[in-house]
A and B are shown apart, each in its own frame.
Chain A
């Protein structure tokens, strides 16, 4: 993907490390409005379901799943761009 580096730096990062499914997705939904349209919000989650459920949430809610990387401690981080 040819997304510029700065676009991947999220405006807000949610620490959902200790949460079980579906809490990371609930946090994402609750905090989406905290970023501007076009900005990126990140969810850091250790629960295995987030890998599937964050992209599924984006598809169902009309938001853009940008991709996944890892936080400094190695936990999975999912990046979502707010479209509406």
Chain B
């Protein structure tokens, strides 16, 4: 299939990343060697099982957990559903609600609403959960590792000390880039957000925690999941995770500096703009800002036309036509919103080109509405 694609700068790694180069070779090799059913006993099946076990071992090592705490799911969303609802099981039976921070990913919110009437815990203007508002009892408390829209790091360990409820941590926004926090009973990650292939989620269940499969059982390798394992993708996810963890100190320093440049230049060179999220205690690669009087969809399209791929939390870009629940919970401007998240090889040149183009793009769009 041939198609023409203009040269553009993808500043949306928080939505998805290309496959890490270190994972390509293991992916291709595993497509040849890892196709068989890892539950069978013949030679090809044993090959597939070996690759799967290796992937589990490598993932556990990269994340600093035990191999028997690692499960591979079909997506990050599935890992979130299983992690959250598996912990909530006992509490829901006793009539306790699921509690979650007001800024959790929609996968958490949808799962919590599916199970009952959840309790939403407020956040401050940086999007950080207000610890004193956490309930002392709940079926489960969901506190993300870091916010996916504004980058603010959440106090997961402090939250677990504050509440007596089991803690679920959606770590999709930070897994690989940052060490896992302590304090969770179950956690979730998503491979395509660290440069693994799509179609691999990570479910972590702490040994000894009261987790129970919330969905029908299946007779597969791992009792916490269901369905035929995508062994090649799982192996590639593990290989990319190892590579990302090995290089993260260097990458994070570089990303942090580049984001500091964007934060400073946007605040200095654009009028009527609000850069949101914690300026220091944040994801290294992500920044969000909102511009007065702008339609988020128009902003995304205009930046795309100039060769920059960005995301937006403004309502006009969402299917529901409601503003980002994250920005809303923080009480910050929801329209004219742009989220930038750097790819692994992001450069100063790319960042400067974006910052150079931005004031003109914004001025052009504002002049269309007479401001």
A-side residues, CB < 8 A to B, are 20-22, 25-26, 29-30, 47-49, 51-53, 55-57, 60-61
Contacts and interface: CB of A to CB of B under 8 A. Distances in A.
Contacts of B327: 52
Given A20-B315, A57-B292, 18 more contacts: A21-B314, A21-B323, A22-B294, A22-B295, A25-B292, A26-B371, A29-B292, A29-B371, A49-B322, A49-B334, A53-B323, A53-B333, A53-B334, A53-B335, A56-B290, A60-B292, A60-B333, A61-B292
B316 to A, nearest CB: 7
A51 B314 CA distance: 14
Interface of B: 272, 274, 290, 292-295, 314-316, 321-323, 327-328, 331-336, 369-371
Contacts of B334: 21, 49, 52-53, 56
A21 to B, nearest CB: 5
B293 A49 contact: no
Contacts of A61: 272, 292
27 contacts: A20-B315, A20-B316, A21-B314, A21-B335, A22-B295, A22-B335, A22-B336, A25-B292, A26-B293, A30-B371, A48-B322, A48-B323, A49-B334, A49-B335, A51-B328, A52-B323, A52-B327, A52-B332, A52-B334, A53-B323, A53-B334, A56-B332, A56-B333, A57-B292, A57-B333, A60-B292, A61-B272
Contacts of B315: 20-21, 47-49
Nearest to A49: B323
Contacts of A30: 370-371
Contacts of B290: 56
A8 to B, nearest CB: 22
B328 A52 contact: yes
Given A20-B316, A29-B293, A30-B371, A52 B272 contact: no
